Amino acid sequence: MNNKNAPAEATFLGHPRGLATLFFTEFFERYSYYGMRALLVLFLTAATADGGFAVDNVTAGSVYGLYTSAAYLACLPGGWLADRLFGQRSSVLYGGILISLGNFMLALGSPLVFYLGLVVTALGTGMLKPNVSAIVGELYQGQPGERRDAAFSIFYVGINLGAFVAPLISGTIGETIGYRWGFLTAGIAMLLGVLQYRLTSRYLGAAGLRPHGTSPAERRKSTRILLAGLAALALAVGAVAGGIVDVKAVQLAEWFKWAMQGIAVVFFGAVLLFGKLDVAEKKRVLVIAVFFLCAYLFWTGFEQAGTTLNLFARDLTDRSFLGSFFDAHEHPTTWYQSVNSVFIIVLSPFFAWMWIALGARQLDPSAPLKFGLGLVLLGAGFAVLILAAQLIIAHGGKVGPQWLLMTYFLHTCGELCLSPIGLSNVTKLAPPRFVSQMMGIWFLGAALGNLTAGQIGGRIGSEVATMPAEFLNMTLFGVVTGAVVLLLSPLFRRWMGGVR
pLDDT value for 242: 72
The pLDDT of residue 471 is above 60? yes
Beta bridge partners, 11, equal 16
- Over its C-alpha atoms, the chain yields an Rg (Å, rounded) of 22
Beta-carbon neighbour count of residue 438 at 10 Å?
Answer: 27
pLDDT value for 302: 94
Helix (H, G, I), strand (E, B) or coil at 463: coil
Q: Name the pTM for this structure.
A: 0.84
Please report which confidence band the pLDDT of residue 1 belongs to, taking 50, 70 and 90 as the band edges. Answer: very low
Which has the closest alpha carbon to 253: 472, 67, 19? Answer: 67
The residue among 445 and 140 whose pLDDT is bigger is 445
Q: What are the backbone dihedrals phi and psi of residue 159, each rounded to the nearest 5 degrees, phi first?
A: -55, -45
DSSP 385-432: HHHHHHHHHHH-S-B-THHHHHHHHHHHHHHHHHHHHHHHHHHHHS-G
Nearest-5° Cα angle at 103, 100 to 105: 110
The tens digit of pLDDT for each residue in 341-367 reads 899 888 877 887 887 888 788 777 888
Which has the closest alpha carbon to 409: 386, 379, 381, 385? Answer: 381
Residues in CB range of 262: below 8 A, 6 or more apart: none
The tens digit of pLDDT for each residue in 53-75 reads 989 888 999 999 999 999 888 88
Angle between helix 179-200 and 88-106 (nearest 10) = 160
pLDDT value for 305: 92
The residue among 362 and 374 whose pLDDT is bigger is 374
Distance CA 207, CA 5 (A): 5
The pLDDT of residue 411 is above 70? yes
pLDDT value for 118: 93
The pLDDT of residue 11 is above 90? no
The tens digit of pLDDT for each residue in 303-347 reads 999 999 998 999 899 999 998 888 888 999 999 999 998 998 888
Lowest-confidence segment of 7-21, 30-44, 382-396, 474-488 by average pLDDT: 7-21
The pLDDT of residue 8 is above 50? no
pLDDT value for 280: 84
Distance CA 8, CA 260 (A): 41
Lowest-confidence segment of 164-168, 266-270, 344-348 by average pLDDT: 344-348
Distance CA 464, CA 192 (A): 43
Distance CA 357, CA 150 (A): 11
pLDDT value for 468: 92
User: What is the arithmetic mean of pLDDT over 171-180?
Assistant: 93
pLDDT value for 6: 45
User: What is the arithmetic mean of pLDDT over 123-129?
Assistant: 91
User: What is the arithmetic mean of pLDDT over 457-461?
Assistant: 79
Q: Evaluate whether 473 touches 88 at the Cβ level (below 8 Å).
A: no
DSSP 122-177: HHHHHHHHHHHHHHHHHHTTTS-HHHHHHHHHHHHHHHHHHHHHHIIIIIHHHHHT
Q: Evaluate whether 432 touches 134 at the Cβ level (below 8 Å).
A: no
User: What is the arithmetic mean of pLDDT over 464-474?
Assistant: 91
Helix (H, G, I), strand (E, B) or coil at 246: coil
Residues in CB range of 433: below 8 A, 6 or more apart: 83, 212, 213
pLDDT value for 145: 65
Q: Evaluate whether 471 touches 389 at the Cβ level (below 8 Å).
A: yes
Distance CA 379, CA 298 (A): 9
pLDDT value for 25: 93
Helix (H) or strand (E) holding 11: strand 11-12
The pLDDT of residue 4 is above 70? no
Lowest-confidence segment of 22-31, 157-166, 203-212, 249-258 by average pLDDT: 203-212
pLDDT value for 7: 45
The pLDDT of residue 146 is above 70? no
The residue among 375 and 250 whose pLDDT is bigger is 375
Q: Evaluate whether 53 touches 445 at the Cβ level (below 8 Å).
A: no
Please report which confidence band the pLDDT of residue 144 belongs to, taking 50, 70 and 90 as the band edges. Answer: low
Lowest-confidence segment of 166-180, 209-223, 423-437 by average pLDDT: 209-223
Distance CA 131, CA 234 (A): 24
Cα distances from 320 to residues 330, 339, 483, in angstroms, run 5, 17, 39
CA dihedral sign, ordered 244, 223, 450, 116? negative
The pLDDT of residue 467 is above 60? yes
User: What is the arithmetic mean of pLDDT over 165-170?
Assistant: 95
The tens digit of pLDDT for each residue in 91-125 reads 899 999 999 999 999 998 788 899 999 999 999 99
Beta-carbon neighbour count of residue 125 at 10 Å?
Answer: 29
Instruction: Please name each of the domains of the chain with its CATH number.
Output: 11-214+247-495 (1.20.1250.20)
The pLDDT of residue 443 is above 80? no
Q: Report, in this order, helix, strand and coil percent for the chain, each rounded to 5.
A: 80, 0, 20
Rounded percentage of the chain residues whose pLDDT exceeds 70: 94
User: What is the arithmetic mean of pLDDT over 207-224?
Assistant: 74
Please report which confidence band the pLDDT of residue 183 belongs to, taking 50, 70 and 90 as the band edges. Answer: very high
